[in-house]
Amino acid sequence: MKKADDDPTLVTLPEGQIRGRALQLVDNSTYYAFQEIPYAAPPVGKLRFQEPVAPENWEGVLNTTKNTKICYQSGEVDSAPEGLTETEDCLYLNVYTTLKPGDDTEILLPVLVWIHGGAFVLGSGARQFYNPELFVHHKVVIVTINYRLGPLGFLTTEDGVIPGNLGLKDQHFALQWVKKNINLFGGDPEKITIAGESAGGVAVGLQLVSLKNKDLFRGAIIQSGTVLSETSHQDYARFYAFELGKSLDPDFTSDDSEELLKLLQNASASDINNNTITAAVGKERDLVEGEGLVWLPVIENADLEGALLTGPYHEDIRNGNINQIPIIIGFNSEEELFFWRNDASIPEKRAKYLDNDPSNLIRNKFNMTTANKLTAGNKLREIYTDGNFEDDLGAVVRFFSDELFTTPSIRHAKLQSYHTDVYMYQFSHKGKLGGQIDVEVAGVKGVGHAEDVLYFWGPNSEEPNEPDDEMTRHRLLTLWTNFVKYLNPTPEEDEFLFNVTWEKVAPNKLVYINLNTTFEMQENPKKYLEWEKVIDVYAIPPLISY
């Protein structure tokens, strides 16, 4: 091991040396940034659509002082942030630490590994997306990662020829890298917490469920997304894989997986990424007819080599067939506002869709008979309105917020509380820092999806933030980093945190902390108990989502 007086920006990994850079925090203290460290070989050529493998050794010193590469973005995005290029060669991670790498210290810092969101089609762990300085200031080592997205990360033939969940397997491979190497950066490999928001929260839940991750992390933070969300799995993955093949070559009519793999490995990555495959009617994974996400995780055949996810998630959590570790899980107070903020016509369209056939409130989310879908749909509508949704458009907003985010998150919290410590929250502080201060849809206000992210990861702006926003930001960071350090967000009374004790969820006591300009413990969030009375009667196990 190097001595402390050696160059702290030089680290020797098993594959070769890397050089990072020293940067300054707002208090003029130093932290060290290592950006774009290869954790896997570039998934190109014969490695395209295959599971990640270790990178080759390199000679000399690899420059890891900036982010330049992100995985192909296949969602609605105008362009990558300045300095970043979309490429298949994107399996890199970033490490940020206040400890001098190479110090012979026995005091290692706990580690937070962040998995970015973006509906499994967008995003990156690059510093341009997630500035680590607020977290690093709280004395935790931060790791952010890239993973394959869209069809390049989630297309599968479901028979092992093109394995499933490649983007998730990238994450798993990165977690193995962190476990093996983080001590070289002053991080404690026995104190790793994984965290993510939106699709990143779904991904954290999926890694939590996969027993392939045994002993790779000891805690998890799941923000505005859960493994029990309907966006956690795709039921028609093989269908969509061959649809993409046909879109690339109209003469391709084979149903042979090897033939499809050959076609896809010979196509350009941009053509694969820029495909026009959309949700087929009757095969939507979420939202409404003809809409929804296509490139999603799958439940794999347990007999396939390398299978990461093999069971119905809901039953795995219910039965404790998971990595039994403490979690924080929660949601913003009105998630759906974010998605509808730029189109005032959406509530009316959705209202007609739901009123025309109340079974559309269930769709294909639960295993129910046709008759019971209609009955359950009507009962769910009664939770939100005395009449039709078309006469109460605000109820449509609240329904979809609960259906997509809060209800599955609360169910996850309840089921896991039988087995581990679970801390549940609702983020309710509506501040300018969240970037949606004036958003209101059909008379409904609240904290929309992704507003919380800017409190944790937004850079310190040149203009001072609103005092309430700034205090809320640092209280949130204190709670989250307390959990990373102690697996308890309020390990002792703290006047800065209003001397609140964040109580744990129990199966018969759904307690949560309401995070606003003050903190308050409350019970039975949103409409969950009313949902439960409907779903638990009509849904036929085994369940995957909720």
Residues annotated as catalytic (active site), given as ranges:
198
Distance (Å, whole) CA 353 – CA 393: 12
- H or E element in which residue 95 lies: strand 92-97
Are 481 and 193 in contact by the 8 Å Cβ rule? The answer is no
Tokens at 522, concatenated: 């409350």
Distance (Å, whole) CA 242 – CA 323: 34
Q: Is the peptide bond before 42 cis (omega within 30 degrees of 0)?
A: no
Cα dist from 151 to 32, 73, 167, 340, whole Å = 34, 10, 10, 26
Distance (Å, whole) CA 8 – CA 483: 28
From the list 375, 332, 278, 392, the residue with the least C-alpha distance to 512 is 332
Nearest 5°: phi and psi at 286? -155, 175
Distance (Å, whole) CA 43 – CA 149: 12
DSSP result, 473-492: HHHHHHHHHHHHHHS-S-SS
Nearest 5°: phi and psi at 406? -75, -45
Sheet holding 187-197, edge to edge: 21-24, 30-38, 92-97, 141-145, 109-115, 187-197, 219-223, 327-332, 422-427, 511-515, 519-523
Tokens at 413, concatenated: 């919290």
Tokens at 422, concatenated: 């679970």
Distance (Å, whole) CA 63 – CA 417: 45
- What's the 3-state SS for 355-385? HHCHHHHCCCCCCCCHHHHHHHHHHHHHHHC
Distance (Å, whole) CA 463 – CA 366: 48
Distance (Å, whole) CA 339 – CA 353: 17
Cα dist from 261 to 44, 201, 255, 258, 281, whole Å = 13, 30, 11, 5, 26
